[in-house]
Every structure is written in C-alpha cells, then in structure tokens.
Structure 1
C-alpha cells in the first residue's frame, strides 16, 4: 500500500492526518481488497482495522453511485464511530456516508437514502428492515464489510446476516474483520468457501506498553475500591461489569459519593449512550461504567485505564476490554478486581492469552506494585491502678 496510489482527495486527507506510513494490517489487505478478493482480516485491537478496509474501498468508490459499500457493525456505538472516520476520509470527495442504526428515527434514514449515499454503515437489524422495505437496493451493493465479525455471527444476529447475504448480489465482495476472527474461521468457511485469511496478530507491534494487574478484594468492597480508584489524581478509565444490574448498583453508589461517572448500557436510549461517550471523551466524567457492549470498536484516544470490576467471562472478552488501552502505540494499564475465588479464573485467562499478570495495591491514595508495609499502631499503655490503702 502506497498513498501515491490514492485518488487526489484521499491523498490530501492522508497528508492532513499526518500519517507517515500505513499500519501492518492496512498494508497486507490493501491489494487483495482492490483486487476484489473475499477475505478475513485479523489484527490486534487498536491496530488500524477500520482504515484497513475503508481506505481501499473509498479509493474505488464512484461519486453519484448509490449504496456501493455496506459496512455492518456489532453495535450502534461502533457504527457511529466508523461513520465518523468515514466522513473524515471522504472530505473533498463530494460523496456521502449514511448511518443506519436501530434506536434512531427510521423515517429520517429513509429520507437520507433518497439522496443516494455511496457508503452505508449500520447494524444488521435496521439494515435488514430497510432492505425488506426496498429502501436499500441490496443487489447494487458491491462490497459488504462485517466489522467485529465474531460478534455478528452469533445468535440472532447470524440469522439477520444470512438474510442480508441472501438479498445481496452473489458476486458481491465480502470482507470480515475482527481481533478475534480466528475463533470463528470454521463458521465463516461454512458461510462461504475460498476465503483469504490475513492474520497479522503475531507480527503486529503497534500495541503500546500495556501492563496487566489484579487487585485482590472482596465482593462487598469492590465498589469501595472503584471509589478509591476514581479519587486517584491521574485516573480516567472504562470500568467493565458482566451484569447490567451490578453496573447500575455501582453507578448509584458512586454518584452518591459525588464521583464523576456515567454509564453506557444496552437498555439506554441512543441519545443517552451518545451523551455518555461524549462526556467521557471530554473528561467531564472520569469513569465510564459499561458491559461488553463497549468492549469492541470504541476508540477513546490515549485512554490510560481499563478496570474489570468483574473477571471477564472469556479470553475474547478480556482481550477486547483490554484493547481499549494501548491503541496505536499508546501505553495503558488493565486492573482486574478479584476475590480470592475469582483469582484462579483470571489466572487461567492470562495464561491462555500469554499475559504477564501481577498484583497491585491501593494504599495511601496511590497504586503500588509492591505490597505496602502497614505500620502497626503503638499499643497504649494500660494505666496502673493505685494500690494505696483506702483512707478510713
């Protein structure tokens, strides 16, 4: 991949962004995408996968030709983030990108489709709804991109994907991307044969220096530990929970202590979720409480901390949560709060992912990597009772 191959507006945007050279995944998939091959792109979180598919596709798009490329994402947040990136790189082209996500006004989206946007980005449910209503002419789509594909082909989402594939042109190009797509390669090969697999996981060195720690505590004291972390001078981080009700309870307690936190949950409105992300990005809140909903694709620049209030349910979950830090060469810290019983679960995950896991301690308003020596309080001397004789 060479930016000299770009059309003028894209070359200009590359220079404006101050990019020196493409990321490894961007280099490896550029030619196969240009050649129209169907492929699976696997690269670590934060290694530039979004631009890996957007740059070659935008470079080939034709102005005025509607719905040439459709990008399907695993969440509304990821869809909006890809839209944001696409808008930036379409600057100067006269071409349009349209978000098609659930939770937003479908009538407005239908009106926007009449303006014939060249690039569509959305979630499977809403996209299928618009295809069924004949508002999107699926046979016109030349390339379908599946971002975070391992999530997209799970459960009910897989049925939606199969229906979208059935409605689209059999000759359309299919691109599948994720940090953990290797875990679903068998399923992808059942969807279609002759897929080119481009896996740079072992070669890619774009991830920064990320340290993985565990902080031993009790279930009852986990929220108190979060309160202490949020009071650290340099703290700004995402805090992950396994269950929505645990997250809601923790948020209530932290807000009671007047700590600047917000939550991001699947049962919130689109506006509430957008506001939470914006407040967090602007440092108006220091802790963003969420579930695995936000562990994929959400790109918060220079984020220093990820906290697992609960031990993730799988290695994939840990990998994607931890991937919010260390993006594009930045450093970061991942701290998992564990009870003595949970410690073995976390150790197994770290071993499978080949991560160095160390203990960390909160003491005196600081994070310490060595166990603090707690000073014992001096014992009070017992006052001796007078053994004098009573006066009569």
Structure 2
C-alpha cells in the first residue's frame, strides 16, 4: 500500500488541502516501524518533513480518552509550540486533545488543562519534569516518548532531565529519536534502549532545494548598514543570526530607529515577546527576524529565501542548522555570512570542514552582485559621471567675457526667461 492509503480518510483530505504531494523519504521509511511500535532513530536533513514522519504513525496508535499516552520532548519553547501546532492540526481530526507544556508559560493554566486528560503532550524537559514531580502528569500512562532534535536533548544539561523523565515512565514504552545530524546521537540513543531501528536517509533524501553559500566582507561596524541595504534589495526576506544576544539587541535598535520592519527573537525575552516576534515574521509583517541559535532548529517559515549570519557561526553544527532554515521541501535559498579581516579565515576553515562550496558576493547599486568587476565598472561610471557633473558646474560658475549681441536676435523680448516655442515645420 502507498503512504496515503495508510492514512484515515480525513487525513488524506487534509494532506491534499495542505498542498502536500508525495511523502518525503523519511516519512515513507518511518511510517511502518513506528506504527508497529518499534524504537526508532530517524536521521534526515533539515526541512525534509521529520515532524510529520513521526507524528502521523504515532497518532494512529493513540487511544481516545485513555489519558496521556504520547509525550514529545523538544529542546526549546519555540520548537515545542510549533510541533504542538502540527500535532493539533492532525490530532483534532481524530478527536484527540493536545497540550503544550513549556517554561515561561503560566503553570497553573497548564495544570488546569491537564485535568481534561489530553492524549498528547508536547513540551520542554524542564517543565515536563516539574509536572511529573508534582504528579500532574501521569507518567505511568505513557506509551511513547519522542525526542525531537535529539542531539540538543543529549547535551549534558538536557540529558540529565531527559533521563529523569525516562526513569519515571513505565518499564515498557516506545522510544523515538529524530535529528538532522548523526554525530554522537546513535551512540547515546543505544545506551537508552536495547533494540533500536536506525533510519538514516541523509544520503538518499532529495527533498531539499538548491542552497547557495556566500560571504560578504565588511567592517564589523557596518553590519546594520549592510542589513538595511539588503532589506531594500528585491525579494529579500531573511532570518538573521547572531552569536550574542547583546549584538542582536544593538543592531535591532538601529534598524527599528531607521524605520525598518524587523522582529527580534532572543533567549532573554518572555514567552509573549517571543511569540509576537515569530508571528510578525510568519505573517510577513517583518522583513527580517533577528535571532540567535535559539531559532536555528525546527522553526519552519514558509519560503524564506535568505539566511544571513551576521558573524561567522561558532561551530559547524550551528552553521548547518542555521542554513537549514532555507532550501526546505524543494525550495531554493541563499546563505550569506558577514566576515571581516579577523574572521575570514575562520569562515573558510568552517566551510572546508562542512565541504560546502562558497563564493564572495558584493552589495552595491541596490542589488547583490557576484563579481567585483561589476562593482568596479559601476564605481568607475559613478566617478566619471560625478567628475563630468562637477566639471559642468565649474564651467557654469567661471566668469565669462561680454560678447556682442547676435544680429538676428528675436525682436520680442518681453518674456526673456520664457522658453521659445518650436517653429512649425514648413
């Protein structure tokens, strides 16, 4: 049977209404093992549809009105909220309830909603563990636990919380991991379960679009100037990444002062401000979303053509996930990294390790150009044009000798400054 024929009729209609065509490689290969309750590690490139790859088969195993059975863990509040939206779209069609559990939100309201016994929980490890300790989440009912962006959840701080959550679950449950990178993930995942089915489609997946990688050399003081100029180039819309929140805030203030529609998303904001920034960008009310690596994973916006690194990312992993915001599900995209004299070699070393081709680009004359030659030609024309204008202006201001009046001067001199009408053709 094909992928679509395995779905309920309501889902088949929703699949078509959502504009989906053929399922991606990770979606096809994940469906049956997850439906049969196997422990699975799924690895596929960013933008290949990993969320639906595990959501659809796992929802089919959830029983209505039987308490919280499916728990999905995410490393950030933003990703948890976005996963919840995806889950809710499909779960509602099966009359299943979904509850989001994240830090920064009102815990009292979350506890009240848990009393309605939602079948699916989506949250961050900290808040989920807090609710398990206070016995607000009945962890003994859990049948499946999913770790999305699991390489982040395996970082030391998050891993301890994740292990505590797993320890609170029943002795037998399905364990599911999904990630865009395989480094260390398989090794750590196998420590948590005896039997693990690994589905790695990194080499086979063709769902990604063409992504081109460029760098732009400029002074660190010119970041806001270049971002402002980029904002006015044709079809520009971008996620702009910073390494430090302080740098993000400084540039954001300058761009807003200059009247640009930008939104800032940072870790030091509360839940309301984060949601506002995401909504502004998602609804095209902001031409740029200024952020840090907090938004490099999982967040999905429709057809973003550009990612801009306001400085060279600190790691290969960071670059890969930032770049993964473009080129999703067949769309093309561009990644531009700002470099200066001190960071250009760092960028070149980084790209060599990742094995991605890159090229320098130039910004001038209201557009992005691929060669310096074009820039030189325009600069020469501009200089030449300016010199001509200045020469003409200088000539006009030079004192001139009085000359004799022309003999054939028109007799009518009442309106000396008026332009003469052209004579009619004979």
Answering whether residue 177 of structure 2 is matched by residue 176 of structure 1, we say yes
Answering whether residue 51 of structure 2 is matched by residue 50 of structure 1, we say yes
Aligned-pair CA distance for 1:13: 2.5
Aligned-pair CA distance for 1:93: 1.6
SS at match of 1:193: coil
- Corresponding residue for 2:247? 246
Q: Which moved more, 1:1-10 or 1:286-295?
A: 1-10
Once residues 360 and 21 of structure 2 are traced to their aligned partners in structure 1, the CA distance between those partners, rounded to angstroms, is: 38
Q: Which moved more, 1:188-197 or 1:152-161?
A: 188-197
SS at match of 2:64: coil
Taking the TM superposition and a 5 Å limit, the aligned residue runs for 1:215-294 are: 215-294=216-295
Pick one of 374, 378, 383 that aligns with 1:377: 383
Once residues 16 and 232 of structure 2 are traced to their aligned partners in structure 1, the CA distance between those partners, rounded to angstroms, is: 40
Aligned-pair CA distance for 1:227: 1.6
Taking the TM superposition and a 5 Å limit, the aligned residue runs for 1:126-165 are: 126-165=127-166
Please list the CA deviations of residues 323-353 of structure 1 after superposition, one character each: whole Å capped at 9, or x if unmatched: 1111100111110000122122222222222
Contact 1:41 1:198 (8 Å CA) reproduced: yes
Please list the CA deviations of residues 72-116 of structure 1 after superposition, one character each: whole Å capped at 9, or x if unmatched: 001111111111111111233211111001111111111111111
Aligned-pair CA distance for 1:370: 1.1
SS at match of 1:224: helix
SS at match of 2:60: helix
Contact 1:149 1:181 (8 Å CA) reproduced: no
SS at match of 1:134: coil
Once residues 311 and 383 of structure 2 are traced to their aligned partners in structure 1, the CA distance between those partners, rounded to angstroms, is: 34
Please list the CA deviations of residues 130-174 of structure 1 after superposition, one character each: whole Å capped at 9, or x if unmatched: 111111111111000000001111131111101001001121111
Q: Could you say what the CA RMSD is over the residues aligned between the two structures, in angstroms?
A: 1.7
Q: Aligned residue pairs: how many?
A: 383
Please list the CA deviations of residues 346-382 of structure 1 after superposition, one character each: whole Å capped at 9, or x if unmatched: 2222222221101110011100011111217356889
Aligned-pair CA distance for 1:18: 3.9
Q: Which moved more, 1:177-186 or 1:95-104?
A: 177-186
- Corresponding residue for 2:167? 166
Once residues 302 and 205 of structure 2 are traced to their aligned partners in structure 1, the CA distance between those partners, rounded to angstroms, is: 19
- Corresponding residue for 2:87? 86
Taking the TM superposition and a 5 Å limit, the aligned residue runs for 1:14-29 are: 14-29=15-30
- Corresponding residue for 1:63? 64
Contact 1:9 1:91 (8 Å CA) reproduced: no
SS at match of 1:4: helix
Aligned-pair CA distance for 1:281: 1.1
SS at match of 2:290: strand
- Structure 2 unmatched ranges of 5 or more: 396-426
SS at match of 2:129: helix
- Corresponding residue for 1:328? 329
Once residues 377 and 5 of structure 1 are traced to their aligned partners in structure 2, the CA distance between those partners, rounded to angstroms, is: 67
Larger radius of gyration: 2
Once residues 112 and 293 of structure 1 are traced to their aligned partners in structure 2, the CA distance between those partners, rounded to angstroms, is: 27
Answering whether residue 207 of structure 2 is matched by residue 201 of structure 1, we say no
